Amino acid sequence: MGGIGKTTLARVVYDWLSDQYEGSCFLANVREVSQNRGLICLQEQLLSEVLLVLDDVDKQEQLKALVAAPNWFVSGSRIIITTRDEHLLISHGVQYIYKVGGLDHDEANELLQMKAFKHKQPTHEHFEMSKHVINYTQGLPLAFVVVGSFLCDRSVDKWKSALDRLKEHPDEEILRVLRISYDGLKNTEKQIFLYIACFLKGRDKGRVMEILDACGFYPDIVMRPR
């Protein structure tokens, strides 16, 4: 999902390994660049012997244009691809897939401390409110960065008020990133998403599949792509 930290992890690995290669290339925002400037622009950035990162891929044609086959690159080259669509990697024959998960409680608390308190010791009241922030953000790193920075050096009362407001009116920066995933869905997938979010949230998965199938949404192929 958006904001989970795919690009950040890929950038860390790239910075860590890039000096081991004769050439390296981080193709950032493949989805956006290919839409606005075309795939040729991205192809021109590639080098013959590289550590290559393709960030935010969303179409098979991008992979075909940039990394169509292993023999395009010399032995020892390493290619990292970030995408919101796991099936793109599977269908392209990517060898190793790592699914980025949300932060656990300790990691979430550490990131929140960094952003909201700048490593200062929080008061007991702030610490208790932190639990509500962690619950609200559901392990999404982007949310901790945005919300934590907003709450920095604010009183406990303002923390509570901000959380109450966020529950009613989520932050636009977070919504913008998450909406990219929704906008990338096909029409049927969007309808299924809205049905589940509005009417079927928390229901047994088997029962949800039955209802969606009865509505003519073919949930087996949409929800079980593998």
pLDDT at position 23: 82
pLDDT at position 60: 92
pLDDT at position 62: 93
**pLDDT tens for each residue of 37-91:** 888 888 777 655 588 899 999 999 999 988 887 777 777 788 899 999 898 999 9
Q: What is the distance between the alpha carbons of residues 211 and 195, in angstroms, rounded to a whole number?
A: 10
Block means of pLDDT (10 residues each) for the chain, length 226 residues? 88 91 86 85 68 90 87 80 92 91 90 84 87 88 87 88 85 80 82 87 87 86 62
